[in-house]
Amino acid sequence: MRHIVPFLSVIWAGGMLFTAPADAQGGQQRRATFAGGCFWCLEKPFQELPGVISVTSGYTGGESLDPNYQNYASGGHLEAVEILYDPRQVSYGELLDLFWRQIDPTDGGGQFVDRGLQYASAIFYHDEEQRLAAEASRSKLAERGIYGKTIVTPILPATTFYAAEEYHQDYYLKNPLRYRYYRQGSGRDRYLDQVWGKERKAWSVVELKRKLAPLQYQVTQEEGTEPPFRNEYWDNHSPGLYVDVITGEPLFTSLDKFDSGCGWPSFIKPVDGRRVAEYPDLSHGMVRTEVRAKVSGAHLGHVFDDGPNGMPRYCINSAALRFIPLERLEEEGYGAYKALFDKD
C-alpha cells in the first residue's frame, strides 16, 4: 500500500468522453475513493468483496501536502479509503451500494462517535462515469425515504490520495480485538441495523456467501456438519489459536485440544467461555447441546460430557474455524495470547 497519485488519460466509452486513471486502461483495474468516518471501518467490508484488489486507508480532499495522522485534519483532509477493483468481477454500482450501507449519509459533522469534518462522508469520483453513477445512486437512495432526513454526502472530484501510516493499514486484521471493541462502541452497527433492518441482514447473507467457501457457509449459517476425518483441523497438532472464521474472535487454543477419535477437532474448553453460547438442540431425533460463537452467531458444533477426566468435549467443525499458528500470533494481532503458551 503506497501513496498513489492518479495519472489521467482521456478515453472513450459508452458514447461518452471522460478521463480515467491510467490503471483503468484495458479494463484490468479501476479506482474508487470513499470517505465514511473512521477508515478502519471501511477497509473490512470492501476487502471482503470479491473483485476488490486492494483497499488503502488514507487522507484526501484537503490542500496540505503529505499529511499525516497528526495534521491531516488541519489541512482539510478527510479519512478515506482508496479501492482498486476489477470491473470484470465487481461493478462501481456494487461498490456504491456497499458504501451507503456503511455510513450515515445525513450527518455532515462526522460519523457516529467520531466528530469533526475530517470524519465526514464523501464520494470522490475519478471520471465522468463514476460521477454520474454516484449521483444516480444518491438520488435513488433519497427517493426511498428511509432516513427521514436530507442526504448530505457530497460527490466530489478525486484529488491526491495520501496513504496513511502503515499501522492504520488492515487495522481490523492486525488488531482484531481493539477493532471490534471500537466498532461496537462507536454506534455504527446499531445505527445501520436500525436503518436497514432485514435488508441489512439479507445483504449480510450475500456478503457471507461471497466471503465463505460453500462448506463454511453451510456449517456456520445452516447448522451443517462436515465429514469426520476429512476436514482441515481434526488431526492438527501444531500450537496456536483457533478463531471464528467470520469475525476472527478467539475461540479455542491448541492447549485445550485433544484427540477424541471422533474425526473432528475436540477441545476441553473455549479460550473464554463468554465468547461461546450453548443452546438445546433436539434436531435429528437427538438431545444435544449446540455451540455457537456469541459475536457472529455462527454454528460451531456441539458439546458433550464425555471428555477426558470428566471434562466436556467441545466437538467443533473445522469449517467454522481459522487456525493461527503460535509463531504468527503477534503478526496477526493476537500477541496477547502468546502468554498462554508461555505458561504451558
CA distances (Å), 139 to each of 108, 147, 283, 303, in order? 17, 13, 47, 51
Coil vs helix vs strand at 7: coil
- Decide: 301 and 318 in contact? Cβ < 8 Å: no
- Decide: 148 and 104 in contact? Cβ < 8 Å: no
In angstroms, the CA 329 to CA 336 distance is: 8
Q: Which residues on neighbouring strands pair with residue 241, listed in sequence order? A: 253, 324
- Confirm whether 38 is a catalytic residue: yes
Secondary structure (DSSP) of 28-61 = S-EEEEEEESSTHHHHHHHHTSTTEEEEEEEEES
* Closest by CA position to 212, among listed 91, 53, 51, 320: 320
In angstroms, the CA 323 to CA 233 distance is: 8
User: Which of these is catalytic: 103, 315, 320, 321?
Assistant: 315
User: Which of these is catalytic: 24, 32, 35, 38?
Assistant: 38
Angle (nearest 5°) at CA 223 between 279 and 174: 90
* Closest by CA position to 245, among listed 202, 295, 302: 295
* Closest by CA position to 299, among listed 307, 287, 291: 291
Q: What are phi and psi of 48, to 5 degrees?
A: -85, -5
In angstroms, the CA 97 to CA 271 distance is: 37
Helix (H), strand (E) counts: the chain? 8, 19
- Confirm whether 262 is a catalytic residue: no
Length of the chain, in residues: 344
262's CB contacts (< 8 A; 6+ apart) are: 228, 313, 315
Active site residues: 38, 315
